Chains A and B, each alone.
Chain A
């Protein structure tokens, strides 16, 4: 496919690996923030082909993985109501709540539907005026403009039977939380390219300056990821800490201005709990007061939720880069994509799912090509 295949060229990738090997003289730990990048790294074996000095730490940028258990349980409670059509991205259906998942609710008679776009949920609300249509609005800044448009259109259409269960999260506060952690090992970041397509790059400059940490806006194809790594390493080796954009074909410094305007209208920044990590101040969005009538948490009484997290699951440590998925005792045993204990084993962007899918069952050091 045009603008995909060119960025997967094996010969160029070989040269890029050579370059990275040439410039690397010391040990460095780099975090790829986005789960999409984690997936690309594991699928293409990038981590195994890098020089052994470079460690890639997988970040918390998987929205399905960090959606808090309490919100999952609220989703399950709402989805089970007979008047509700509950719409969600497919990834969320197997995410374990305290006692079940959305698939189970569906098999028990709940009307749970997978939608491709949030606008599909708005259409369903128009088609079923006698039912309550609830959309599970999760995601990072990339997905937020789509979800915001759904609410905006529902308001314009005067739909009384549409609402959203909102659990939006933001990347820059997560980077801040990682850098503030006493156990932090991350020395450079690959910032999530599509998040920056929407939001632009200005939010990252203060992080670069405050923490003296290189941040390189990076795409998702193998060559994009390698170029992001190369630029971070180059900065680290030269003692620089700068904001760079290695995904210029898709990211403008100002981001998507029209989308940002819509986001400012529909959402308000709020504190948000991240599953496995805890509350990060001002790290998410909720509906703004203007659109409060579309808030599913207000429309349905779901305040009395008691959550119970799996005792075996160590996805919190995985999400914080303290544990590689295959170092978890439950990995591939009690916990598989068919029987996930945590969301990181469910989502196509979860680190555990990526390790499982591509057969990384045994913890190994980088095997490298430079032997």
Chain B
């Protein structure tokens, strides 16, 4: 029910009642209400729930999070001497 799908805004217009737009979900384009995100512009990513853009998807944070995930465990693996080495030393 709280499912939200990320998509890219490709068009913004006023339908006489409110700010609307077209959002591209990897090839599938749907009409979406943009009333709650007045600062969004064409090209921005947003998360859409029941036909409403509920939040801006911050691309920078997305990349930072992925970079954090990438680095997880890497440091530990580098710092941990592997057992074979230790055997050689002793």
Contacts and interface: CB of A to CB of B under 8 A. Distances in A.
A347 B1 CA distance: 8
B54 A145 contact: yes
A80 interface: no
A138 B57 CA distance: 25
Sort chain A's interface into a size bin: 35 or more
A250 interface: yes
Smallest CB-CB A-B distances: 5 pairs: A117-B51, A197-B55, A249-B61, A249-B62, A142-B2
Contacts of B3: 36, 194, 220
B41 interface: no
Contact of B2 (A12, A140, A251): A140
B89 interface: no
- What is the interface of chain B mostly: helix, strand, loop, or mixed? mixed
Contact of B57 (A3, A259, A262): A3
B52 A117 contact: yes
Interface of A: 1-4, 6-7, 9, 12, 15-16, 18-19, 22, 34-36, 61-64, 89, 91, 116-120, 138-140, 142-143, 145-146, 149, 153, 156-157, 192, 194-195, 197-198, 220, 223, 227, 248-252, 256, 258-259, 262, 347-349
B69 A223 contact: yes
B81 interface: no
Interface in B7-27: 8, 17-18, 25-26
B84 interface: no
B50 A116 contact: yes
